Amino acid sequence: MEPIESRLKARAGELGFTLSGIAPATEPDGFARYAAWLDAGYAGTMSYLHRHRENRQHPRPIVPGVRSVLMLAFEYGQPHSDATPTAEPHQGRVAAYARGPDYHRLIWDRQNELAAWLMAEVPGCRAFGVSDTAPLLERDFARRAGLGWFGKNTMLINKRRGSYFFLGGLLTDLELMPDSPHATQHCGTCTNCLDACPTGALLEPGMLDARKCISYLTIEYRGTIADADKSLVGDWLWGCDVCQEVCPWNREPHAGPFPTDPALATLDPIALLRLTDAQFRQRFRGTVFFRGKRSGLLRNAAIVLGNCGDDRALPILSQAANDPDPVIAEAARWAVSEIQSRTGIATAME
């Protein structure tokens, strides 16, 4: 019979995980750098990162007695060239990872199946899958498991598969044979990602100020976006893929197992601004847009319209300027002002 490590990775592949590798469950190599990043304030309003800071120093708070971590990569695939940039002037772009169902549930279900398989193969062992929401420095363990290196854009990059994938880990109290860590870095002299970042969020190779990142502004940040940052968001309605799009390691397209929906590649901000709260919940339940709530998505829709400068949006923006949600209303007023300043069209906001 093949070793349990080989059979475990083969089963992971059957469940759709493109890459897998084993790392010892010890303190992550980059914890000190992560702590310094938090202390510098680069996490912005993501207070949960501070709350669980110490828990990320070792995976044992997730699974007591943990000895090994099987790191897993689940590809969501690159956006097709016909979806970026947008064909219509008032359409909003959506990051590739969001063009389908909420990935958390999808990955957790597959990890749970993998954990059940392992516990059946090795009776008495423990196994628990995590992805994104547990205090695990996933990139550190993925590098240690041989899946790739940290790119200058801070993404984990694999030579064969690029960077368009979700990361997750299967923690177990089994002593598994670890893989060799990825010890080299293959970005060379390339600075495409740093040069292309619309907001200058990449301060230096491997250092991201999340407060400037379009993904942070349109997803994680829940309040009123500063005017100076609104204009930098451009036509990104949800997230941003620029630093991945320009990466040479993503030149070859890879279609992942993630079930993408072409209708989510771009969204019409004008149509979004017409949504009531009930309509929003019905339309976006089961997707990652649901976590941003109506407030965040419609705020972003107004900002995209203001940046596009399409005067056809003025009527709906004037209505949205009176939305009961102050975050939406403020973004709509800004957008009206932006369009009026470009077109000279005066519109009463009633």
Nearest to 228 by CA among 249, 200, 256: 200
Annotated catalytic sites, by residue? 132
